Amino acid sequence: MSATKIGILGGSGFYSLFDKKNDKEIKTAYGKPSAPVSIGRISNKDVVFMPRHGVKHIFPPHKIPYKANIAAFKEVGVERILGPCAAGSLQPDVKPGDFVICDQLVDRTWGRDDTLFHGPEVAHVSFASPYCSEMRRIAIESCEKLGISYHPKGTVVVINGPRFSTKSESKWYSSQGWEVINMTQYPEPVLAREMEMCYLNISLITDYDVGLEGHAEIKPVTAAEVGKIFKDNNERVKKLIAEIIKNLPEKRDCDCSEAMRHARI
């Protein structure tokens, strides 16, 4: 199989991508990934797709085989990963239907295996900027070109799930100024960083989390609502992905490919 350099991880409501594809089972040192990788073409480039929850959404956020998924992409030659996801808004100006090109994350998960380095080899990778700067720039330019309602930056707080937040938790997250809440945006980016792959998040806002304080008409999120809105907006997501892929240069111009150079001890 020829190497493919671009990988896409589909989120809730995003389980397939190609009309014509070649599915391939991948074995990794970290176990079986969520699904076979699907290999197809977008914007005249070879692309690999995998639904992170599985084709039939059988993996809840805390049970997704994150390491196996990222390793499977690495195995087939992926250098850049696009990680679109369904997400809730924590701020009034970030509305359902908006896209957020996140530049920061806050990890509130627990128990997830989030590193390749458990010893005897030890490493401490830099994660100050968790998302690839080059891919973020291209994503922002692509949103502008397509006229998509978007926010050029934002912090996603990642909760463990599978339950949604309490009102007090959501109020705390909002009070910190964080814009987005999600259950799957960690540890994908840091595992990609340790494998020296670029990672881009596109958060599709589906709801206002538990509602907004002072706005009784905005009700708490439900799983059915998340799935419906993401499904309704799948075509916009696919158009944005195609535009981003079209504009990605062949060679990377970022630090992601050398992330481990000074990380090992």
Segment 75-127, tens digit of pLDDT: 999 999 999 999 999 999 999 899 999 999 999 999 999 999 999 999 999 99
Encode pLDDT of 175-219 as tens digits.
999 999 999 999 999 999 999 999 999 999 988 887 665 566 666
The whole-number pLDDT of residue 214 equals 58
Residue 154: DSSP 8-state: -
In degrees rounded to 5, what are phi and psi of residue 150?
-145, 170
Taking the complete model, does pTM exceed 0.75, yes or no? Answer: yes
- When pLDDT is averaged across residues 68-77 and rounded to a whole number, the result is 97
Identified catalytic residue from 107, 209, 232, 253: 209
207 is catalytic: yes
Encode pLDDT of 215-241 as tens digits.
666 666 676 766 677 677 788 899 999
Structure tokens at 109: 């998960």
Domain membership of residue 107 (yes or no) is yes
Identified catalytic residue from 93, 207, 232, 255: 207
Domain assignment of residue 134, given as a range: 6-258
Instruction: Determine the 3-state secondary structure of 99 from DSSP.
Output: strand
Q: Which amino acid is at 45?
A: K
- Cβ-contact 37, 76 below 8 angstroms: yes
Residue 37 belongs to domain with CATH number: 3.40.50.1580
In degrees rounded to 5, what are phi and psi of residue 34?
-60, -30
19 is catalytic: no
User: CA-to-CA distance for 111 and 114, rounded, in angstroms?
Assistant: 9
Total domains in the fold of the chain: 1
Domain membership of residue 103 (yes or no) is yes
- Cβ-contact 259, 126 below 8 angstroms: yes
